[in-house]
Amino acid sequence: MGKNMLQKLNRLRGTIRDRVTRLNKAAESYQPPATPEESEIILNQKLQNVLELKSQMNKLLANYLDLPDSTNLEEYLDVIYTMEEEIEDLQVKFRILLTKYCKAPNADNVPMTVHKPKLKIPDLPLPEFSGKYEEYESFKTQFMSIIGNNESLNDNQKCCYLKASLKGDAKYIESNQDTFQSSSIRSFQH
């Protein structure tokens, strides 16, 4: 039984060897089609075939190792290990071809993002407004220079600072639906 099984495994190994050779020729003589999309489909299919071969080689190795201990496997295992290295090289070749001939997903459509540095507001006491008319101009000037005109803050953050600045009667006129735009426009238009 061991000799018959060995012949089957050797034939399977030969079949895998032929596929490795064909895929290697395909990688070395690859000519990209008209579009990157077509290239991506072709190369992904070839890469999938390589991964399939890798799986078949693992099964083949396991089957060789299941043969009776009396079988001399040294020669066969050397060939298998060499083929495994060739398959790994093929995998790398096809990944390189994918990178070379296929554009990155949405590379043309990705907007450039500008990262603004995070600015920490200086530890200044926030101006307070209690609702008294005579304090309003001073409060408005201080608040707008520290918070309102700070471009690193979004409207929600500005609104939180504004709500924190309101004291006494002024605090009662705020609502839970206020945004900085509506709060500042309403309070700073006087």
Q: Tell me the residue range of the domain where 6 lies.
A: 1-102
- Looking at the structure, tell me whether residues 52 and 131 fall in a common domain: no
- Looking at the structure, tell me whether residues 121 and 156 fall in a common domain: yes
- Looking at the structure, tell me whether residues 27 and 92 fall in a common domain: yes
Number of domains composing the chain: 2
Q: What pLDDT digit, counting tens, does each position of 19-50 carry? A: 999 999 999 999 988 889 999 999 999 999 99
pLDDT recorded at residue 154: 83
Question: CB count, 10 Å around CB of 133?
Answer: 7
Encoding tokens for residue 127? 């101006």
Q: What pLDDT digit, counting tens, does each position of 102-138 carry? A: 865 544 444 555 555 565 555 667 778 787 888 788 8
